[in-house]
């Protein structure tokens, strides 16, 4: 039957309204809150559910009968890690949604475009030159992400704009170039650090830094808000830069905002957890599939959904072969890579 394939992909026929956006985001926020609480009970060290819930409800002011060790596991290890997972997921999904709208390309993703690698190189430089100062890391990672973003953008832009294939090729070039930089720097490290470093490169949340956690969360929320405020401009940019310009969008201004905000989001999340791949691809895609392509709903939904997605993926990563752990990036790539292939095939119509 003609049109069946596209009907399956059809956006909801009804227009997106402010109320619909608020309701959808509220539902996702509640789900996120539930996920944070429930996954904190799961892990290699089982915690008593009722006492843990009571302690979380008291925001850590009461132990509710948990032992000292249990209390520390819950508040010093698990909850910070889960919150970091939420921030990283929210950041990467928001950045992905932003790149996709700006570059008019459903396949754009920080990891696949080499932007995560740019941030990783930045983080490594910070580790080598400012090893002890963890505040420098996100700043240099942000710079690395920004440089990689511009490199990909310049490489991909042809006379006819950036086609999906050209963009992905540019991403491959930047990724492989930066990978060799990473390998080069890694060989300069001592053997004991290489293993933990390889884990970090694949995306690993086990090294949660408590000092940076609030900053990472703040950047995620601020970045998601900033891109949501530009969502209507991005809706028009998705239809082409020329059209958007004709209709009144300050194209240059919006482009700079998206580049800066997305690079900041990727930089801060990579500095905290390495390159968690495919989140920026899977989550915005699911958001658009279920809620439509209007960025006013799909960006905030992707932010909340990304948080949810990485929390669940990390819970799997730290429990599936407990007491040993997998890097969370391995789980997200396992889900993301097949979806990427599916999307690539579909983009050829």
Partner 1 sequence: MLEAHEVSVSYEHRTAVANVSLTLKTGEITAIIGPNGAGKSSLLRALNGQIRHSSGSILLDGEPLERLNRRSISRRIAVVAQEAELRFPVTVLEFVLGGRFAWATNAGWGWETDRDLQVAQTVLQETELTELSGRLMNELSGGERQRALMARALATEAPILLLDEPTANLDLSHQATLLSLVRKRCDQQRASALVVTHDVNLAAQFADNILLMQHGKTVHSGTPEEVLKPHILQQVFEIRVLVDAHPVTGGPRVTPVHETYRHH
Query: Which residues sit at the interface with partner 1, rule CB under 8 A?
Result: 3, 6, 9-11, 13, 15, 17-18, 104-106, 164, 229, 231-233, 235-236, 238-240, 242-243, 245-250, 288, 292-294, 296, 347
How many Å separate Cα 166 from the centre of its chain?
23
- The angle that helices 136-156 and 164-187 make with each other, rounded to 10 degrees, is 140
Phi-psi region of 179 (alpha: psi -120 to 50; beta: other; left: phi over 0): alpha
Q: Which is nearer to partner 1, 64 or 169 (CB)?
A: 169
Q: Which is nearer to partner 1, 36 or 103 (CB)?
A: 103
- Helix H segments across the chain? 4-8, 18-39, 49-57, 68-72, 79-102, 115-129, 136-156, 164-187, 191-201, 213-229, 231-237, 241-246, 251-273, 279-291, 295-319, 328-346
Kindly state the smallest distance separating residue 50's Cβ from partner 1, in Å.
42
Q: Which is nearer to partner 1, 14 or 192 (CB)?
A: 14
Kindly state the smallest distance separating residue 161's Cβ from partner 1, in Å.
9
Kindly state the smallest distance separating residue 31's Cβ from partner 1, in Å.
24
152 by DSSP, 3-state: which? helix
Which structure tokens are listed for 35?
């996920």
Q: Which is nearer to partner 1, 170 or 313 (CB)?
A: 170
Kindly state the smallest distance separating residue 6's Cβ from partner 1, in Å.
6
Q: Which is nearer to partner 1, 4 or 132 (CB)?
A: 4
Give the separation between CA 34 and CA 86, rounded to whole angstroms.
12
Kindly state the smallest distance separating residue 256's Cβ from partner 1, in Å.
14
Q: Which is nearer to partner 1, 150 or 245 (CB)?
A: 245
Kindly state the smallest distance separating residue 9's Cβ from partner 1, in Å.
6
Q: Are 37 and 53 in contact (CB under 8 A)?
A: yes
Which structure tokens are listed for 42?
């799961």
């Amino acid at each position: 039957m003609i049109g069946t394939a596209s009907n399956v992909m059809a956006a909801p026929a009804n227009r997106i309204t402010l109320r619909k956006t608020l309701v959808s985001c509220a539902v996702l926020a509640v789900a996120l809150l539930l996920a944070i609480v429930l996954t904190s009970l799961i892990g290699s060290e089982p915690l008593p559910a009722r006492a843990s819930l009571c302690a979380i409800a008291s925001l850590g002011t009461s132990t509710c009968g948990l032992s000292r060790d249990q209390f520390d596991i819950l508040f010093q290890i698990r909850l910070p890690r889960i919150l970091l997972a939420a921030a990283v997921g929210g950041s990467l999904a928001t950045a992905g949604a932003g790149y996709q709208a700006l570059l008019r390309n459903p396949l754009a993703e920080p990891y696949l475009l080499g932007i995560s690698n740019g941030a990783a190189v930045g983080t490594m430089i910070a580790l080598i030159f400012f090893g002890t100062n963890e505040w420098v890391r996100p700043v240099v990672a942000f710079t690395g992400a920004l440089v990689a973003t511009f490199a990909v953008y310049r490489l991909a832009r042809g006379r006819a704009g950036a086609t999906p294939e050209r963009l992905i090729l540019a991403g491959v070039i930047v990724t492989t170039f930066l990978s060799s930089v990473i390998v080069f720097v890694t060989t300069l490290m001592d053997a004991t650090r290489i293993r933990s470093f390889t884990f970090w490169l694949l995306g690993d949340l086990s090294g949660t830094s408590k000092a940076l956690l609030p900053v990472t969360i703040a950047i995620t929320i601020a970045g998601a808000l900033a891109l949501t405020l530009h969502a209507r401009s991005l809706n028009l940019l998705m239809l082409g830069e020329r059209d958007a310009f004709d209709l009144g969008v300050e194209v240059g201004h919006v482009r700079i905002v998206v580049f800066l905000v997305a690079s900041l989001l990727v930089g801060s999340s990579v500095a905290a957890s390495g390159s968690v791949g495919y989140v920026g691809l899977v989550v915005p895609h699911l958001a658009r599939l279920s809620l439509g392509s209007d960025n006013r709903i799909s960006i905030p939904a992707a932010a909340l959904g990304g948080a949810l997605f990485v929390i669940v993926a990390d819970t799997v990563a730290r429990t599936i072969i407990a007491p040993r752990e997998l890097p969370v990036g391995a789980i997200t790539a396992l889900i993301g890579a097949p979806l990427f292939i599916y999307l690539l095939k579909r983009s050829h119509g």
